[in-house]
Amino acid sequence: MGETVQPNHADTLKTLLIAGLTQILGKAGFGLIYCWVRRRAEFWSNRARKMGSKEWMG
């Protein structure tokens, strides 16, 4: 374990850039998925209410 590998600055910047982009995209994607899931949940709960049965929620 005597050797210490010096990190390349270009690689470090690239890694940071990729990490930043991934985080931003991840947050945006999560927001979209969350909105979609909420809309679906509202749709199904409204449908269940119209049906008048609790089977849908089961």
Residue 4 forms part of a structural domain: no
What's this model's pTM, rounded to 2 decimal places? 0.46
Residue 39 forms part of a structural domain: yes
Residue 1 forms part of a structural domain: no
Q: Residue 22: its pLDDT value, please? A: 93
Question: Which residues, at least 6 apart from 45, have a Cβ–Cβ distance to it below 8 Å?
Answer: 57
Q: Residue 7: its pLDDT value, please? A: 62
The boundaries of the domain holding residue 45 are 31-57
Q: Residue 55: its pLDDT value, please? A: 58
Per-residue pLDDT 10s for the chain (58 aa) are 566 666 678 899 999 999 999 999 999 999 999 999 999 999 999 988 887 755 555 4
Q: Residue 51: its pLDDT value, please? A: 78
Locus of tokens 């049965």: 53
What is the number of domains present in the chain? 1
Locus of tokens 């947050």: 27
Residue 51 forms part of a structural domain: yes
DSSP conformation letters of 8-34: PHHHHHHHHHHHHHHHHHHHHHHHHHH
Residue 41 forms part of a structural domain: yes
Residue 14 forms part of a structural domain: no
